[in-house]
Structure 1
Amino acid sequence: MAGGNKAVAYIEPGVVEVRTTDYPTLELKDGPGVAPANVGRECRHGVIVKVLATNICGSDQHMVRGRTTAPAGLVLGHEITGEVVEKGPDVEFLDVGDVVSVPFNIACGRCRNCKERQTGICENVNPGRPGAAYGYVDMGGWVGGQAKYVMVPYADFNLLRFPDRDAALEKLLDLTMLSDIFPTGFHGAVTAGTEVGSTVYVAGAGPVGLAAAAAAQLLGAAVVIVGDLNAERLAQARSFGCETVDLTKGTLEDQIAEILGVPEVDAAVDAVGFEARGHGKDAGEAPATVLNSLMSTVRAGGALGIPGLYVTDDPGGVDADARSGTLKVRLGLGWAKSHRFTTGQCPVMKYHRQLAMAILHDKVHIAKAVNATVISLDDAPRGYEEFDKGASRKYVLNPNGALDHVKAA
């Protein structure tokens, strides 16, 4: 298929722009952020996807705020759902017309980590370090999917095909959460040890935190408590049955005790990451706040799921340590309480199919939980601006009209 493309690009801190770009090919070409060793990489195993829905993620927002080393011109977007419109000669099990979910992890399916279901740290897709993603700094330079079209490598391995095209299109607003935030939130809840009857605290009521809360409910938690500094986001958490704590008012432990009768929980999820603020009405940034508060709050023998993003380079860090990702974490407290910690990218493929089934069979309504809000691709700069100001919405871009039936914001 010939023709051009449109995509959302990072320009400078606080600025994104919708640009005309080249139509993708089955070759990774040179461009902003592309690892030199990946330039010219042929992807006979890849497909071209027409993007039906693609979302603005908090991880994108870190780059747009200038809190990473992302280069100008980087095409953003790693939450992608689409339709296969072209396939490479080595693709065997996908066909043109298939509707698919694209995990944000890029994985070869051949290395040791992929074979052990650790697709977030594939060894063969990023020359710099294990793990790759679309449209993200230091992740190999694979072009992002906040666009009309995108190339997906290792398609047979990576893509989740929906067998019933009509059912997938009907549930598209929910299914678009499968590429990242729903599995990421679920991974946080699972690795925190959530099970039937658990009491769970989720730090952060942004989209990933709300997804983690919905996941904890799906896993059978007795009580899910969500904490944040943003009243609008806390109201969104309450809208689907969560308890909440307002971290501008009183201590976390006291507020949890008011809800549970004890100042501790069985499991906790960090859905905030390195841009955490201290607790209190006018608290400034304090990147270890969430990790330390979770260790104080989780019972002895419990676990912390940490899907919140932490980075090795933060140009906007509050001090020299923070700028290198060195945080003042009370590891001694976690050690004394025999806590278990799980960090890193969610291996989306580990949860992909079962969460799709839960959506398709109405066991969870994840779009409602995260307040999914459809906007046009051209409106992406507005979405970034409003999200950065704390809007309690998950912005979903509609590049090719597949969500025209959903009322746009």
Structure 2
Amino acid sequence: MPGNHVVVYQGPGRVSVESIDYPKLELPTDVVDGLGLKKRAPHAAILKIVTTNICGSDQHMVRGRTTAPVGQTLGHEITGEVVEAGDDVLFVKTGDICSVPFNIACGRCRMCNEGKTGICLNVNPARPGAAYGYVDMGGWVGGQAEYVMVPYADFNLLPFPDRDRALEKILDLTMLSDIFPTGYHGAYTAGVTTGSTVYVAGAGPVGLAAAHAAQVLGASVVIVGDMIPERLQQARSFGCETVDLRQSGELSEMIEQIVGEPEVDAAVDAVGFEARGHGQGAGEQPATVLNDVMTISRAGAALGIPGLYVTGDPGGVDENAQIGQLGVRIGLGWAKSHRFTTGQCPVKQYNRLLMNMILSDKAQIAKAVNATVIPLSDAPQGYQDFDHGAAKKFVLDPHGMVPA
């Protein structure tokens, strides 16, 4: 039986690659004990991981900004080859290369039947919804590894139709597990459509994915705001306008200089709870992006909020922020009749259609987010570089399967 290695959180600012057991077709103890399910999982499959990505949500944990314990395995952006399937797996077969939605979903509960796979009721005793390798998400082993177990495989896995084509486009297809659907969800729920003017807060990978998704949806102008020059340059590299939030001045004035008016049709918060105020040396202001997007969105607009907000933040700037209670100007949003969409992206609503866009060369998400391949052993350095603002989406290649 092959070995298995996984990236593990070792305390604020530190991760390591550790040896763990090869996965079994079994559910985690937390799920079994908390929900009264059977441990044996004949509905599951084991995947040899082709690619697995470092996500900004992982980075929140590694910074010590969640309640993740030391020893938490990491990784929820997974693409892999099926090497073993349980007896109850009917439609996915050994050898298939598949995208794995980061949402773990049973496919049988009320939420799954309504298409709300981000809040499945049967995969996490703590709250609706689960994910691989994430705090409070059911105890599922992370996918920044060599092998991983995927439950309810027929429902969760998205097989690619052609192996050779999949490997050829793997740097785009690896983004289907989370970042591309999440960015698309942000833009789509913000109401982006043909001719829209759009503001995306944050030029990290999710913000860049949201910006590219807005282009795919037909936006006329996409403006991306950030404080890191390299990330703003990356946004410009595929046709976005940018605003440098290190500069003083009102965001609405910066928007007006680009589109001729101080408002946009749609806005996306791709930053989340570690938001910082504007200007040189600005400190953390966790509600600032939410208030910004309400301020610069026209009356009647929708706001997509794929940026992560948490219920427990040990590093929060005050007691309210530490429990996710923020100073949001909800009265402003109410007065402007804004609509808000929050929460995990239900990946399965989008991943098949976005796969088709990639395979037909209608979307170039790897280029937009600057996909950068590193071996699994270099994951600690990847986390450090990402934390320092690298304008890259790090893709881990555990088995050397990514073509040169």
With the shorter chain as reference, the TM-score category is: over 0.9
Mapped pair 1:252 → 2:254: no
- Report the counterpart of residue 226 of structure 1 in structure 2: 224
* Counterpart residue type for residue 37 of structure 1: G
- Report the counterpart of residue 297 of structure 1 in structure 2: 296
- Report the counterpart of residue 330 of structure 2 in structure 1: 331
Q: C-alpha separation between the residues in 2 aligned to 1:280 and 1:105? A: 36
Q: C-alpha separation between the residues in 2 aligned to 1:226 and 1:343? A: 20
Q: C-alpha separation between the residues in 2 aligned to 1:303 and 1:324? A: 26
* Counterpart residue type for residue 185 of structure 2: H
Task: State the TM-score, normalizing by the size of structure 2.
Answer: 0.98
Q: Is the 8 A contact 1:10 1:64 kept in 2?
A: yes
Question: For each residue in 1:49-80, what CA deviation from the matched residue of structure 2 results, as whole angstroms up to 9, or x when unmatched?
Answer: 00000000000000000001111111100000
Question: For each residue in 1:124-180, what CA deviation from the matched residue of structure 2 results, as whole angstroms up to 9, or x when unmatched?
Answer: 100111000000000001111000000000000001011111111110011000000
Q: Is the 8 A contact 2:53 2:393 kept in 1?
A: yes
Structure 1 pair 29/331, CA: closer, same or farther in 2 (3 Å)? closer
- Report the counterpart of residue 381 of structure 1 in structure 2: 380
- Report the counterpart of residue 344 of structure 2 in structure 1: 345
Correspondent of 1:132 among 115, 130, 133: 130
Correspondent of 1:37 among 10, 34, 45: 34
Q: Is the 8 A contact 1:35 1:141 kept in 2?
A: no
- Report the counterpart of residue 16 of structure 1 in structure 2: 15
Q: C-alpha separation between the residues in 1 aligned to 2:148 and 2:33? A: 20
Shift of 1:29: 4.4
Structure 1 pair 135/40, CA: closer, same or farther in 2 (3 Å)? farther
Structure 1 pair 35/231, CA: closer, same or farther in 2 (3 Å)? farther
* Counterpart residue type for residue 322 of structure 2: R
Q: C-alpha separation between the residues in 1 aligned to 2:332 and 2:232? A: 28
* Counterpart residue type for residue 111 of structure 1: C
Q: C-alpha separation between the residues in 1 aligned to 2:39 and 2:277? A: 44
Q: Is the 8 A contact 1:35 1:128 kept in 2?
A: no
Q: Is the 8 A contact 2:313 2:322 kept in 1?
A: yes
Give SS of 1:266's match.
strand
Shift of 1:43: 1.5
Mapped pair 1:197 → 2:200: no
Q: Pairwise mapping of residues 5-404 of structure 1 onto structure 2 (< 5 A)?
A: 5-30=4-29, 37=34, 41-249=39-247, 250-403=249-402
Give SS of 2:219's match.
coil
Q: Is the 8 A contact 2:27 2:151 kept in 1?
A: no
Shift of 1:37: 2.4
* Counterpart residue type for residue 76 of structure 2: H
Q: C-alpha separation between the residues in 1 aligned to 2:384 and 2:375? A: 14
Shift of 1:36: 5.0
Q: C-alpha separation between the residues in 2 aligned to 1:62 and 1:280? A: 23
Shift of 1:35: 8.1
Q: Is the 8 A contact 1:26 1:47 kept in 2?
A: yes
Deviates more, 1:49-58 or 1:162-171: 162-171
Shift of 1:6: 0.7
Q: C-alpha separation between the residues in 2 aligned to 1:35 and 1:143? A: 14
Q: C-alpha separation between the residues in 1 aligned to 2:116 and 2:31? A: 23
* Counterpart residue type for residue 215 of structure 2: Q
Q: Is the 8 A contact 1:301 1:338 kept in 2?
A: yes
Structure 1 pair 316/295, CA: closer, same or farther in 2 (3 Å)? same
Q: Is the 8 A contact 2:373 2:396 kept in 1?
A: yes
Q: C-alpha separation between the residues in 2 aligned to 1:41 and 1:226? A: 46
- Structure 1, unaligned stretches of length 5 or more? none
* Counterpart residue type for residue 369 of structure 1: A
Q: C-alpha separation between the residues in 1 aligned to 2:384 and 2:159? A: 33
Shift of 1:4: 1.8
Q: Is the 8 A contact 1:35 1:140 kept in 2?
A: no
* Counterpart residue type for residue 316 of structure 1: G
- Structure 2, unaligned stretches of length 5 or more? none
* Counterpart residue type for residue 273 of structure 1: G
Task: State the TM-score, normalizing by the size of structure 1.
Answer: 0.97
Q: C-alpha separation between the residues in 2 aligned to 1:52 and 1:19? A: 18
Q: C-alpha separation between the residues in 1 aligned to 2:236 and 2:149? A: 39
Superposition RMSD on alpha carbons, in Å? 1.2
Q: Is the 8 A contact 2:31 2:123 kept in 1?
A: no
Shift of 1:40: 7.0
Give SS of 1:42's match.
coil
Q: C-alpha separation between the residues in 1 aligned to 2:46 and 2:122? A: 20
Percent identity over the alignment is 71
Give SS of 1:142's match.
coil
* Counterpart residue type for residue 223 of structure 1: V
